[in-house]
Amino acid sequence: MRYFNWIFVLGLFSVTSLQAQSKAIIDEVVWIVGDEAILRSEVEQQRLRAQYEGTPIAGDPYCVIPERIAIQKLYLHQAQLDSIQPNETMVMTNVELQMNYFLTNIGSREKMEEYFGKNIVAIREETREMLRNNQIIQQMQQKLVEHIKSTPADVRRFYRSLPEDSVPTVPAQVELQIISFQPPVPEEEIEAVKERLRSFTERVHNGTTDFSILARLYSEDTESAKRGGELGFRGKGAFVPEFANVAFNLSDPKRVSRIVESEYGFHIIQLIEKRGDRINCRHILLRPKASLADTDKAIKRLDSIAGQIRNEKMTFEQGVMYFSQDKNTAMNAGLMLNPNTGTSKFEYKDLPQEIAKVVYSMQVGELSQPFQMIDPQSNKEVVALVKLKSKVETHKANLTDDYQLLKNFYEETQKAEFLKNWIAKKQKETYISIDPAWQNCEFEFPGWIK
């Protein structure tokens, strides 16, 4: 039996229980896994993060979290042996997203440092290490289970072996075709939007109003508006080209960009900071809107198209070809694709709210009445008409209709079982020591205490 290198690390102070601790304790080693120590401070930091992010911990955090860290160390050791390396660019992108999330929700850098009990540099480095390790672990898990495949015979045997109450339930799913277009926006409305943005720029340049205040009050990018228009550190590829070309050429944080038109509307931008090939900037977004008269006219036009389809003067597919402005479906006969799965099937919860409300009571082949909605891709208001192409009601999975789902279910079950056995094997091969005060736990994997 092979063991990792043994190390003997003493905590700065010892304790007799988790509840009765001396205030003099700075940190202590609570677990040792192979040649890696798990510190109380690591457990506390993960507990704080889970608490802040609203991530539920199923059980005592002082049992669940160190076990989770120990499992991670088993994977990381194996990944080191197998020379698995993370994508550092992706790691840093995720770090910035996580830091922006904390800053947005906690409110300021000072409050964030107070909450975590360390400075912003240390929080960033801790976040980078955590996300880097997570990516390595995911790659290691994928490598360990890549050999697990299934045949139709495997899936059939698995399905027949399932107790009735273990057969997965398939939620109702629908397939939809859509015709949509944006009502025309008058030129005078566009000019009015530009004039408002010019007035915002003037107020910033003459020092009468802070850009972030204007963004909070007026920007129609509701998420960034909560942060005073701040978008967080991002690379050029994270923005649409029109926006990126202007934003990345800014050099003076006191100045505001020219007005930028993109598919989302009209923006003005203010640089906050450049860091290598990434920038942090603020923006204010305004969208010109169609008049009520033009919107009503567009709805009547769509109602007329629907009438021609119902009277079989044209097919829905022809309606898509001749009239739809939805670039995501126009070349696919109007068939909507689910961005979460890459298929044309949607559960109701995955549909835009306006569409889900309209199609819930429709029958297969039926056309909706024209309605207004916010396009989830462009965030612009459009008028739309949908056809329910197919519908599968909520049901217990079966081999005829749900083979792929059952195949995935079987393979995921096999992978989970393989990884569970792999961890149990590693527990036997690895030196593990747990502080007695941390042993009174119901662990998910019982092999920690030998």
User: Mapping DSSP to helix (H, G, I), strand (E, B) and coil, where does residue 42 land?
Assistant: helix
Question: pLDDT band at residue 49, thresholds of 50, 70 and 90?
Answer: confident
Report percent pLDDT > 70 for the chain.
94
| Residue 182 in this model has a pLDDT that exceeds 90 | no
Who's near 366: CB < 8 A, 6+ residues apart?
387, 388
Superfamily (CATH) of domain 29-148+412-448: Porin chaperone SurA, peptide-binding domain (1.10.4030.10)
Place of tokens 């082949």: 365
- Per-residue model confidence as pLDDT tens digits over 305-325: 999 999 999 999 999 999 998
Q: Quick check: 243 and 285 in contact, CB under 8 A?
A: no
Topology of domain 187-286 in CATH is Chitinase A; domain 3 (3.10.50)
Q: Which option is the CATH number for 173-184+290-396: 1.10.10.10, 3.20.20.370, 3.90.209.20, 3.10.50.40?
A: 3.10.50.40
DSSP H or E run through 349: none
Q: Rounded to whole angstroms, how far apart are CA atoms 68 and 89?
A: 26
- Per-residue model confidence as pLDDT tens digits over 114-126: 888 888 898 889 8
User: Are 173-184+290-396 and 187-286 in the same CATH fold?
Assistant: yes
Each domain of the chain, given as residue ranges in start order, spans: 29-148+412-448, 173-184+290-396, 187-286
Provide the b/e sequence for 83-105 (b: ≥16 CB within 10 Å): ebebeeeebbbbbbebbbebbee
Res 9: pLDDT: 30
E-strand spans in 344-418? 346-347, 371-374, 381-392, 395-396
Question: pLDDT band at residue 26, thresholds of 50, 70 and 90?
Answer: low
- Per-residue model confidence as pLDDT tens digits over 373-413: 988 777 778 999 999 999 999 999 999 989 999 999 999 99
Place of tokens 């090939």: 277
Q: Which pair of structure tokens corresponds to residue 419?
A: 């990884």
Question: pLDDT band at residue 80, thresholds of 50, 70 and 90?
Answer: very high
pTM (global) more than 0.95: no
Q: Return the top range by mean pLDDT from 178-192, 331-345, 407-421.
A: 407-421
Res 278: pLDDT: 85
- Long-range CB contact pairs, 404-413, < 8 A, 24+: 405/168, 405/170, 406/155, 406/158, 406/159, 406/168, 407/150, 407/155, 409/158, 409/168, 410/150, 410/154, 410/155, 410/158, 410/159, 411/148, 411/149, 411/150, 413/158
Q: What is the DSSP string of 49-79?
A: HHHHHT---SS-HHHHHHHHHHHHHHHHHHH
- Per-residue model confidence as pLDDT tens digits over 265-295: 999 999 999 988 889 999 999 999 888 888 9
- Per-residue model confidence as pLDDT tens digits over 339-348: 888 889 999 9
CB atoms within 10 A of CB 397: 17
Q: Which pair of structure tokens corresponds to residue 235?
A: 């690379």
Who's near 425: CB < 8 A, 6+ residues apart?
none
Least confident of 86-90, 156-160, 363-367: 86-90
Tell me the residue length of the chain: 450
CB atoms within 10 A of CB 234: 18
